[in-house]
Amino acid sequence: MMDGGTRIQDRNDALVADALAGLTARQKTLSPKWLYDHRGSALFEEITRLPEYYPTRTEAGILRDNADALAATVPTGGALLELGSGASVKTRTLLDAGGHIGTYAPIDISRDFLFETAEDLRHRYPTLDIVPVVADFTAPVALTAALTAVPKVAFFPGSTIGNLEPSRAQALLSAVRDWSDIRAFVLGADMIKETTTLVAAYDDAQGVTAEFIGNILIRLNREADADFDPSTFDYRATWNAALARIDMHLVSKRDQHVTLANEVISFADGEAIHVSAARKYDPQMLAALARSSGWDVNRQYVDDQAYFSVAVLTPMKQWS
């Protein structure tokens, strides 16, 4: 078994390797998965409470309004498995309505936080079997024998599907489709809407999102032996209509050189690092993604403004 020091070193090695690969590419990139250190996670929670950031409160409203129907997708005694569970806040709406659910399996890459959350849930739901699974949901997830044996429903809220490139989104849905005795996939997806609303959600007036994205440079300085000066980068969020996504960049304000793990990386004035993307969907795009992955869209729940969708996907009868 790895001790804590070994896990931290492995994580730092992965961060350095990933950052070097991204920052030496023609289009400089940093993976959004590295945004979520302790400070980054706190900033994201702050973002979800901003007036401009409609996705969290809109999806929460859909879940509350349709909790009974969504919980009923899980068979009696079956399991609800959440991908990228975090603090499992939204899931409690379904668990509160789903007294018939036998098992809740939160799946998350952050081991310590996952186990803390699982312990809290055991106190909240003493009759529910809580089975945390430490895994990166973008890679194959190894389920326990007990989870494999029961009918199950996957839950993927938060429009995290929009942070994945289409090929990776398709691969994820396909992998879940191949789970034994999978009955449904409850998927949250943000919908295409007018540009001003979209951009404001990712470039708030208080600058919290800018701080969240810029925090990745501070993390690289701390954990990857880099010497970024965050004040020399501006944050930029733009709507990419061709790819139906918000692109989030850090843009160098001048010509400069940065050292990362003894490698010198040059930036031209105005050169951008692509840090994150948030893809948006319309009903046809969502249906096409589902079909390409072995699912049918059984039903969709949307808010009054059609800003957000919680879709119930069911397995296609013919899929191989």
- Token readout for 245 is 């996504």
* Residue among 41, 28, 10 nearest 260 (CA): 28
Clarify whether residues 13 and 28 are in a common domain.
yes
| 80: alpha, beta or left? (left if phi > 0; alpha if psi -120 to 50) | beta
| Predicted local distance difference test score (pLDDT) of residue 112 | 85
- Can you tell me the mean pLDDT for 186-190? 98
**Tens digits of per-residue pLDDT, 16-30?**
999 999 999 999 999
Q: Is residue 31 domain-shared with residue 126, that is, in the same domain?
A: no
What local confidence, expressed as pLDDT, does residue 1 receive? 45
Tell me the C-alpha distance between 301 and 312, whole Å: 8
- Cα–Cα distance measured from residue 160 to residue 269, given in angstroms and rounded to the nearest whole number: 32
The least confident of 9-18, 82-91, 119-128, 179-188 is 9-18
Q: Quote the pLDDT of residue 300.
A: 97
Residue given tokens 């119930």 in the structure block: 312
Both 139 and 232 in one domain: the answer is no
Does any domain span residue 60? Answer: no
150 within some domain: yes
- Specify the range with the lowest mean pLDDT, choosing from 109-123, 169-183, 204-218: 109-123
- Inter-residue contact 150 to 74 (CB < 8 Å): no
More confidently predicted of 250 and 86: 250
Give the pLDDT of residue 251: 98
Q: Could you tell me if 70 and 216 lie in one domain?
A: no
- 194-215 tens-digit pLDDT: 999 999 999 999 999 999 999 9
**Is 59 a domain residue?**
no
Same domain, yes or no: 229 and 99: no
What pLDDT sits at residue 125? 97
Q: Are residues 88 and 155 in the same domain?
A: yes
Residue 54: name the closest of 202, 179, 273 by CA. 202
Distance CA 286, CA 311 (A): 9
Alpha carbon distance, N-terminus to C-terminus of the chain: 37
**What's the pLDDT score for residue 320?**
59
What is the extent of the structural domain holding 185?
66-193+282-315
pLDDT value at 2 more than 50 = no
Residue 254 has pLDDT above 90, yes or no: yes
Q: Where are the alpha helices (DSSP H) in the chain?
A: 4-23, 38-47, 54-65, 67-71, 91-97, 111-124, 145-149, 166-177, 195-202, 208-223, 283-292
Same domain as 84, residue 38: no
Mean pLDDT of 83-95: 92
Share of the chain above pLDDT 90, in %: 84
300 located within any domain: yes
- Does residue 150 register a pLDDT over 90? yes
Instruction: Categorize the per-residue pLDDT at 98 as very low, low, confident or very high, splitting at 50, 70 and 90.
Output: very high
Asked if 256 and 241 touch (Cβ cutoff 8 Å), the reply is no
Q: State yes or no: pLDDT of 4 exceeds 80.
A: no
Whether 224 is covered by a domain: the verdict is yes
- Position 3 scores a pLDDT of 53
- Tell me what the mean pLDDT of segment 141-167 comes to: 94
My answer on whether 273 and 296 are in the same domain is no
Please name the residue that has the structure tokens 């492995």: 10
- State whether 188 and 199 are in the same domain: no
As a whole number, the mean pLDDT across the chain is 93
Give the strand pairing for 256-260 and 263-267: antiparallel
Q: Is residue 58 part of a domain?
A: no
Question: CATH number of the domain that 143 lies in?
Answer: 3.40.50.150
- Asked, for residue 148, whether it belongs to a domain, the answer is yes
* Cα-based distances in Å from 306 to 83, 189, 190, 193, 210: 24, 11, 9, 8, 27
pTM: 0.88
Spatial distance between the Cα atoms of 286 and 263, rounded to a whole number of angstroms: 42
CA distances from 25 to 108, 265, 266, 274 (A): 29, 10, 11, 11
Q: How many domains does the chain have?
A: 2
